[in-house]
Amino acid sequence: QQQVKQSPQSLIVQKGGISIINCAYENTAFDYFPWYQQFPGKGPALLIAIRPDVSEKKEGRFTISFNKSAKQFSLHIMDSQPGDSATYFCAATYGGATNKLIFGTGTLLAVQP
Amino acid sequence: GAVVSQHPSRVICKSGTSVKIECRSLDFQATTMFWYRQFPKKSLMLMATSNEGSKATYEQGVEKDKFLINHASLTLSTLTVTSAHPEDSSFYICSARATSGGYTFGSGTRLTVV
């Protein structure tokens, strides 16, 4: 129940295309869903996050779509650029004593020029 | 924005020695800090959660005597890998959570035990 399932494991997209990464969860107590971007040898950096009271959030080229009934959320990267090539992690957490993040397994995105 | 400084970024140590990794929140007070371990091409594995002034809570399977965590202040947490062995070689990452919420990660420490 604590798992967050992420797919695909890897993704190749042409420059200018749309990258889509999907995540699914089981625990309905989760109330915060962030996406992180990680470059090799660096720590994860917050990209965008959403709470379950909205179905979509957009920040620049990055959009989170959230489907509460299906317990799924996805990251869309519009106009993908070679600089977007990185590993992306979805995560989830809920209010509580520890508030620990539960991470997905990650998606390695390669944007080809 | 919130910044977490993690040092050192890389460290090489001899087998049997101890290594300390520092994690500092530079512009906010971190009520909770988290320590992760990441293997190549894998996700982040939570090792422990620490709250300022109290003992860390370790995840199942993590040796608390090997991975000593100290969270002495609201801006500093340290992870000490004691009696390090080659199998402890990994990428270690800290994260800090402010009272306002949100999680900020350090830049990670590449530990190599030879």
Q: Is A55 on the interface with B (CB under 8 A)?
A: no
Task: Work out the pLDDT band at A98, boundaries 50, 70, 90.
Answer: low
In this prediction, residue B47 carries a pLDDT of 96
What gap in Å lies between CA A42 and CA A60, rounded to an integer?
23
Alpha-carbon span B82 to A46, nearest angstrom = 31
Task: Provide the sign of the torsion angle of the four alpha carbons B28, A54, A60, A83, taken in this order.
Answer: positive
| DSSP conformation class of A53 | T
Q: What is the predicted pLDDT for the residue at A1?
A: 64
- More confidently predicted of A95 and A52: A52
Are A19 and A81 spatial neighbours (Cβ–Cβ below 8 Å)? no
Using CA coordinates, name the residue in chain A closest to B34: A100
Strand pairing report for A10-14 and A107-112: parallel
- Comparing B78 with A96, which gets the higher pLDDT? B78
Cβ-contact B19, B13 below 8 angstroms: yes
Query: What's at B96, amino acid-wise?
Result: A
Q: Both tokens of residue A83?
A: 């600089």
What residue of A is the nearest CA neighbor of B110?
A: A41
C-alpha span between A58 and B23 (Å, rounded): 31
What does the alpha-carbon distance between residue A41 and residue A14 come to, in Å, rounded to a whole number?
A: 24
Q: In angstroms, what separates the C-alpha of B106 from chain A's closest C-alpha?
A: 6
The reported pLDDT for the residue numbered B72 is 83
Query: Per-residue pLDDT tens for B23-82?
Result: 999 988 888 999 999 999 999 999 999 988 888 999 999 999 999 999 888 899 999 999
- B51: amino acid identity, one letter: N
How do residues A14-73 score in pLDDT, each as one tens digit?
Answer: 999 999 999 999 999 999 999 999 999 999 999 999 999 999 999 999 999 999 999 999
pLDDT, residue B107, reads 97
Amino acid at A98: T
Instruction: For residue B43, give the nearest of A32, A43, A103 by CB distance.
Output: A103
Q: Which of B34, B102, B104 sits opposite A100 (nearest CB)?
A: B34
